[in-house]
Structure formats: structure tokens, C-alpha cells
Amino acid sequence: MSALAPNYKRKNLSFVKGKGSFLLAKNGKKYLDFVQGIAVNSFGHANKKLINAINKQSKKLWHVSNAFIIPEGEKLAQRLVKKTFADAIIFQNSGAEATEAAIKVARRYFYSIGKENKVDIVCIKNSFHGRTLAAIHASGSKKMIQGFGPKVPGFKHFEFGNHKKLKKLINKNTAAIMIETVMGEGGIKVIPSWCIKAIKELCVKKGILLILDEVQCGIGRSGKFFAFEYAGVKPDIVPIAKGIGGGFPIGAVLMTKKVAKGMIPGSHGSTFGGNPLAMSVGNAVLDQINKKLLNNVNKMSKYFINNLNILKKKYPRIIKEVRGIGLLIGIQLHHDQTKFIKKLMNNKLLTIRAAENVIRILPPLNVKKNEIDLALKIIKKVCSELN
């Protein structure tokens, strides 16, 4: 019997070590890991530069309070500011904390300019922003909020694609629109660039803020540093997490200087957020998110998606749609995906589910062509078995 609470239905499989795209299981078998901790291990397992960074820093200093200057965090923040739309950063430890902080930054901005009525955050129904109380209410998923007490006020929802409803929801009390640029848990739904652009224009027109949740699709996974770069828009606030830590828990919220002004001393904090150990790893992750890596993401993405579409043509009764951008790929099946995922696992390919019968595929950003070929071979085999 496990002493862990039963809030996860775990597969009967555990691992002893990993290298790049592969995991070695306790049962002695080698698995191709196209989950990578859910888009977390940007460079696969046991990345040399990350190991060096954490080894080096762990001998010097792990943790000090944010009451003091932390040079490693100053450096990572400077680099993120230089690379992106942002003028200021707050470090956290996870995605949910980052989206929570994003909501706080938006509300605090309006408070600081004397418009404290502007608190409402408009979100897509059944999106995913994490599991804290505010974040589950931001998602608006019935399943996630069930049993967790009174509704957290201040969140309004529209269905994916229902722009009329979105416009109707915006009133004098609206602070921000918060959406995932690519809906990950929601079934790898890429919000089209024209749509992101139109939402940005709406925000400008209404004088509200745009929060783009890039916790899953950010830090190179989309083939650009941020997925919203495809739309050419400038958001006000962007929470990140997963990929920036490469396996070490790091979250952050990026913001413009306009909204950063509201975050005066004492307005927000985190004991662990931005500690020297985490920041050293974050810097070593950023060192490796370069043009060459993004080229690999785009090349491998094209190759993978093209070949999955060939499989879709061959097995039209099984595969309904191939979705995605960069190395955030979804295979939507006509039927429940549980059996398919299990068969992939039995053939030593690890994938993970998303909503709408989608099998989510998240290779490391430095994945090699022969690894994708191996995955395609296994997916094809399972298709033919289930056909």
C-alpha cells in the first residue's frame, strides 16, 4: 500500500535513471520518454550542462531569503528581460504560483491607479492554469472545482472560439483576459494568430490587460521562445514555469514596467522563489535555448507532424486529427485514448493524455530524428493492431 494520498491514478511503472530521450525502468526495460515530465525536461534527462550548474551551485549556496540580493536571480531576470517583451520578473516555484501571481499583478495594477473595481479575469472555459484555488476557478472546469468549497469570485468564462460571448463579458469591472496561447491540457488547441491579435486589439480598446499563460508552450517548445511571437503581439503579463527549470521547479511571471509599478515592496513574496540553486539551473537552461535548438524544434516538428498525418490518412478510423505546434503535439483519436496510450507504453513509448481524446506528445527540444522514427514506428504498430 502506498502512503501517498490517492489523488493520482499512477501507472505501475517507475524509473531508475534517464538519459536524453530515454528512461530506464525498474523492470530493466528502456522507454522512449515523450512525456518528459509534461514538457518540463527541455533537454531530456541528465543534461550535462544542467548537472554541472546544479553541482557547482550546490557546493556554494542553496538558499537565502529574498530579503537579500540574489545575483543569480538578478542575472536570469536581466536575461529574460533582454530576450522578451518583459521589463520585470517575479520568480516563483511552479506554474500555478506563476498564474496566481499573474492574476495578482493584473489586479494590483488597477488598484494602484485607483481603479480597484477592475478585478475580473476573463478566461476560456475548461482551460488550465494550475491547481491552486484561484487557478482552478480560472479554469472553470467543473471537475477541478468540485468539492473544494465556495466559488472564488472574479473569474468569467467564454467557450473556446465564442468571440461574441468574450466581448459581452467585458465590462467596467474587467481587469484582464487570461488565456493559454496553446491549450495544453485542453487538448493541444493552438489559438490561431489572428485570434490572439484580435484579443490583443480588444484589450487595448477596452483598456484591460492581456495575460498569456505560456507555462506549457513557452521557452522554445512552440519553435519560438514564446508561442505568442507567431501572432506578433505584446502581452502585458506572462506566467512561465515547466520548461524554464529543465526539471528543477521554477516558475516566474514576466511583466511590463507599466504593471510592475503596482508591485510595491511587500505586495507579494515567496520564500523559495528565485533561490540561488533554482536560478543557477534557470540560467543554464537559458544558455541552451538558442537558434540552433529552435531550428531543431521546427525541423523535428514538421517531420513528426507530416508523418503523423500520413498515419492519419492510413488509419482514418483511428486518428481524427493531428494537432500542435513545435514539439507540443497532439493526436486526436475518434475514441477514448486510454487503450492506445497503454499499448504505446507496452511498446515502450511514453505519452500522456489531454482532453478531447488527445494523446499528447512532448519530446525534449533536442530530440533526434531517429528517436522520432522509433516513435512513429511504435505509433504505426499500435494503429495497425487497433484497426
Ligand X SMILES: *Cc1c(COP(=O)(O)O)cnc(C)c1O
Site stretch for ligand X (CB under 6 A), options 59-67, 122-130, 310-318, 326-334: 122-130
Can you spell out the DSSP letters for 171-188?
-TTEEEEEEESEETTTTS
In 275-337, which ranges are continuous DSSP H helix? 276-288, 291-314
The binder of ligand X chosen from 45, 104, 107, 129 (CB under 6 A): 129
Q: CB of residue 242 vs ligand X: minimum separation in angstroms?
A: 6
Query: Site map for ligand X, 241-270, x if CB under 6 A?
Result: xx----------------------------
Helices marked H in 113-177 — which ranges? 133-139, 142-145, 163-169
Rounded to whole angstroms, the Cα distance separating 256 from 119 reads: 18
For cell 525498474, what's the residue? 26
The whole-angstrom separation of Cα 189 and Cα 187 is 6
Selected from 77, 121, 179, 215, the binder of ligand X by CB under 6 A is: 215
**Which of 43, 91, 109, 128 is close enough to bind ligand X by CB under 6 A?**
128
Phi/psi of residue 384, nearest 5 degrees: -70, -35
Pick the closer one to ligand X by CB: 180 or 236. 180
Closest to 385 (Cα-Cα) out of 348, 344, 353:
344
Q: Which of 185, 236 has the CB closer to ligand X? A: 185
| List of E strands, the chain | 15-19, 22-25, 30-33, 88-92, 120-124, 155-158, 174-180, 182-183, 189-190, 209-213, 237-240, 251-255, 319-325, 328-333, 349-350, 352-354, 358-361
By CB under 6 A, which span of 89-97, 154-162, 165-173, 277-285 interacts with ligand X? 89-97
Shortest spacing between CB 246 and ligand X, in angstroms: 14
Q: Residue 311 has which C-alpha cell?
A: 498515419
Name which of 95 and 246 has its Cβ closer to ligand X.
95
99 binds ligand X (CB under 6 A): yes
Amino acid of residue 83: K
Q: Select the residue interacting with ligand X from 213, 236, 321, 356 (CB under 6 A).
A: 213
Of 44, 184, 235, 276, the residue at the interface with ligand X (CB under 6 A) is 184
Q: For the window 348-367, what string marks contact with ligand X as x by the rule CB under 6 A?
A: --------------------
CA–CA distance, 163 with 76 (Å, rounded to integer): 37
* Closer residue to ligand X in complex, CB, 159/373: 159
What is the binding site for ligand X (CB under 6 A)? 94-96, 99, 128-130, 180, 184-185, 213, 215-216, 241-242
